[in-house]
Amino acid sequence: MPWLEPVPDAMVGAERADDPATIVTSRESIRLAFVAALGPSLITIIVVLGLTGWERYARVVRAEVLALREKDFIEAARAMGVGAGRTLMRHVLPNTFSSIIVLSTLQVAQAILQESALSFLGVGSGRAYPTWGQMIALGRDFVTVAWWLPTFPGLAILLTVLAINLVGDRLRDALDPRVV
């Protein structure tokens, strides 16, 4: 249905700008505003990160589907009379699955960084749950006498995010059907 194509573009294109820094700033501002309005809690962080991160999935899946619909095996399925639902489930979805998995691993790493940043600013999950961002924020006052207080949580964030990104990179290499 070509008349539906502008709808997803309009839904996920609200953040388009010429300057990538503008996009990042607007996302962070939206997250801060949501957390400030709803109050710091673990549920708030989960909801805010989920509501402000879905458009990446929509863009990636849409781009994959638009690329796949021109492929020969999709044309062959159409020519054989296979219905749209079956084509979607048997051909399109399995070919977009690797991109979704890789994006998910990268999003987990980004969510860790975002939660740490919000907790560092004091608007994260509150005092109920200790987080690396809170540990860094509390340790920064003692950095001259106890340098390890902010350093080790920062290293934990670094190593965790690096490990998750490396797993995502390996998954991309292993799951990409275009790589032989």
For the segment 135-178, what is each residue's pLDDT rounded down to a tens digit? 999 999 998 999 999 999 999 999 999 999 999 888 888 877 66
- CA dist., res. 7 & res. 108, Å (int): 27
Question: What is the reported pLDDT for 179?
Answer: 60
* Inter-CA distances, 46 with 13, 77, 135, Å: 23, 40, 20
pLDDT at position 163, please? 96
2-175 is classed in which CATH architecture?
Answer: Orthogonal Bundle (1.10)
H, E, C per residue of 109-151:
HHHHHHHHHHHHHCCCCCCCCCCHHHHHHHHHHHCCCCCHHHH
pLDDT at 85: 85
Predicted local confidence at residue 99, as pLDDT:
84
From CA 69, how far away is CA 59, in angstroms rounded? 15
| pLDDT at site 147 | 92
**Triad 114, 105, 126: Cα angle to 5°:** 30
Specify the pLDDT at position 25: 57
The predicted pLDDT at position 159 comes to 97
Residue 125: C-alpha distances to residues 34, 51, 108, 176 (Å): 13, 16, 17, 36
- Two tokens at 131? 């987080």
Q: Which long-range contacts (CB under 8 A, 24 or more apart) does 148-156 make?
A: 156/132
**What is the per-residue pLDDT for 70?**
85
| pLDDT at residue 73, rounded to an integer | 84
Q: How far is CA 102 from each of CA 61, 76, 174, 175, rounded to the nearest angstrom?
A: 12, 28, 10, 9
Taking 50 as the pLDDT cut, the residues of the chain under it are 1, 3-4, 11, 14-15
Q: How many Cα atoms sit within 13 Å of 1 on the Cβ side? A: 6
